[in-house]
Amino acid sequence: MPLTSTDHIIDPAYAAVRGVGAFNVVQIEHAEAIVAGAEQAGLPVILQISENTARYHGALAPIGLASLALARAARVPVAVHLDHAESVGLVREAVEIGFTSVMFDASKLPYAANVAATRDITAYCHRADVWVEAELGEVGGKDGAHAPGVRTDPDEAGAFAAATAVDALAVAVGSSHAMLTRDAVLDLDLIARLRASLDVPLVLHGSSGVDDTDLAKAVAAGMTKVNISTHLNKLFTRTVRDCLRKDPGVADPRKYLGPARDAVAAEVARLLGVLAAA
């Protein structure tokens, strides 16, 4: 299937109260694995490239264009999304090279400034028919995400979505970025109240720290787009370590990157099944 608009993947899932997996690409093996896993599962998927990853590669275009090419050749619907962009210039570059959606993150700004910046980005992206995600209630590190007062307020979320015209909203409900364990405690009641307060899909960031059971519960409570990165990176790295331990003299990187890619593909297929069945 050709590259697919993000809303064509998200909207049916939102209506049916199903989850969609959005997995982060760090290098081309990740993108290949994510697409292969989606094809194994027979389910749509979203490839995400963060501002940090664009910086790692020196520019967005190399890894972005590769991901777009893989999406266009996929046998299932695949969207390509810019994740956690704080740079307006990077958002514009993503739109220009063909990304189907962007996540503009002005959550560190005061509320009024977040609204103003996000509204401007949304207007620009919508003119190019690009879907926009924003964040309210910063999903920070593990300690911050569980501190009093940082979780997203449903009334404020509703007002923010209306003021900015965003297509989806990432909310702080107890998950945390870059968790190495899957023991985050989600506020499922808050997720349900947020779903009832907004007319746009909810996005769960930091989902690597959430186990399968709670991922399914989060989707049932109202989450639609579920972002997963660290969990797959751990598996990728562990597989590489195992390969190098078994064969310390290996020189060809395909000998250890290939198995890591295969392991991630299998886990993507499994996680997509968890989210779709919720």
Q: Which two structure tokens, joined as six digits, stand for 271? A: 């996680």
Letter string b/e over residues 68-101, b meaning 16 or more CB atoms within 10 A of that residue's CB:
bebbeebebbbbbbbbbbebeebbbbbbeebbbb
The DSSP code sequence of 88-114 is HHHHHHHHHHT-SEEEE--TTS-HHHH
Residue whose pair of structure tokens reads 């909310």 in the numeric block: 171
Provide the 8-state DSSP code for 164: H
Q: Using an 8 Å Cβ cutoff, are 40 and 269 in contact?
A: yes
In 3D, which of 35, 82, 46, 13 has the Cα closest to residue 262?
35
Catalytic, out of 7, 83, 167, 214: 83
d(CA 117, CA 247): 51
Please enumerate in sequence order all residues whose Cβ is within 8 A of that of 93, keeping only pairs 6 or more positions apart, or say none.
Answer: 60, 61
The DSSP code sequence of 209-269 is GS-HHHHHHHHHHTEEEEEE-HHHHHHHHHHHHHHHHH-TT---THHHHHHHHHHHHHHHH
**Catalytic residue flag (residue 214):** no
Q: Which two structure tokens, joined as six digits, stand for 161? A: 């979505």
Residue whose pair of structure tokens reads 């349900």 in the numeric block: 192
Q: Using an 8 Å Cβ cutoff, are 272 and 41 in contact?
A: yes
Catalytic residue numbers? 83
